[in-house]
């Protein structure tokens, strides 16, 4: 039952009454007890609005697990040494990040990052170079960021590792050899409220695999242009 509740909240926040209505074999009191256990475990957050209690999925434990797992991979990479008789390919790690102040509220940025990503993503960076290509994001943990085009097989760009609605989005993709890999690419988008109706986007990328420093520089330049040019310009329109 608790796993079912978490699955519901992956898609959107729900009131306690809405959750109870979707679970036919449990009373409202039993549902509230399950919600209490999830809140005590910090897996959900709650907020009261009048007579309604809203329940939100808390992505922080997911983020902490992701960061712990990533630190473990980094430690393994640092301990990895080429052995005699094997190709001398060393596993490397690199991280870069930047902030971007945006003149729109968090809700608007989140909408652009998720539901409207195909509207501002540079078309020359799409896998299928035709007018019908579209990027789509499945907004739940385990969901896909993929590209679709008429008559073509869907092209997978990344998977959703974690999500906290309108606050945090974690993605894991692959950097193919043609782009400087092979490597895993971990992307994190964090949104914070700034002064007035503005918001701040904190973005970071961690690469893990076999790549050069020039690849890191190219990826950093690429992502800065994607966010600071294309996303910012889209939000100004």
Same domain? For 76 and 179 the reply is yes
| Region of 115 on the Ramachandran plot (φ > 0 left; ψ -120 to 50 alpha; else beta) | alpha
Same domain? For 147 and 190 the reply is yes
**Which range of residues forms the domain containing residue 15?**
2-57
User: Order of strands across the sheet with 183-193?
Assistant: 92-102, 199-209, 183-193, 168-175, 155-164, 144-148, 134-137
Same domain? For 138 and 52 the reply is no
Q: Which of the two residues, 221 and 69, has the higher pLDDT score?
A: 221
The whole-model pTM stands at 0.66
- Residue-wise pLDDT for 67-83, tens only, equals 555 555 555 555 544 44
Mean pLDDT of 86-101: 76
Same domain? For 154 and 128 the reply is yes
Same domain? For 20 and 93 the reply is no
Same domain? For 52 and 115 the reply is no
CATH number at residue 24: 1.10.10.10
Domain total of the chain? 2
Tell me the average pLDDT of the chain. 83
Structure tokens at 127: 């896998």
Same domain? For 69 and 135 the reply is yes
Same domain? For 134 and 50 the reply is no
Same domain? For 208 and 120 the reply is yes
Same domain? For 156 and 199 the reply is yes
């Amino acid at each position: 039952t608790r796993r079912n509740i978490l699955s519901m909240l992956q898609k959107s926040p729900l009131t306690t009454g809405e959750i109870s209505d979707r679970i036919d074999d449990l009373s409202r009191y039993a549902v509230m007890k399950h919600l209490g256990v999830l809140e005590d475990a910090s897996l959900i957050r709650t907020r009261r609005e009048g007579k309604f209690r809203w329940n939100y999925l808390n992505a922080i434990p997911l983020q902490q697990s992701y960061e712990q797992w990533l630190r473990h991979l980094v430690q393994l990479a640092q301990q990895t040494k080429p052995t005699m008789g094997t190709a001398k390919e060393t596993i490397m790690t690199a991280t870069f990040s930047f902030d971007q102040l945006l003149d729109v509220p968090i809700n608007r940025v989140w909408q652009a990052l998720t539901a409207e990503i195909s509207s501002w993503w540079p078309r020359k960076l799409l896998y299928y170079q035709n007018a019908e290509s579209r990027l789509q994001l499945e907004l739940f943990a385990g969901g896909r960021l993929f590209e679709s085009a008429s008559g073509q097989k869907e092209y997978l760009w990344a998977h959703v590792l974690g999500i906290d609605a309108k606050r945090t989005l974690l993605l894991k993709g692959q950097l193919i050899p043609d782009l400087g890999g092979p490597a895993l690419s971990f992307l994190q988008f964090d949104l914070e409220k700034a002064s007035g109706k503005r918001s701040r986007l904190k973005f970071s990328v961690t690469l893990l695999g076999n790549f050069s420093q020039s690849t890191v520089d190219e990826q950093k330049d690429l992502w800065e242009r994607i966010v600071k040019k294309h996303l910012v310009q889209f939000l100004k329109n």
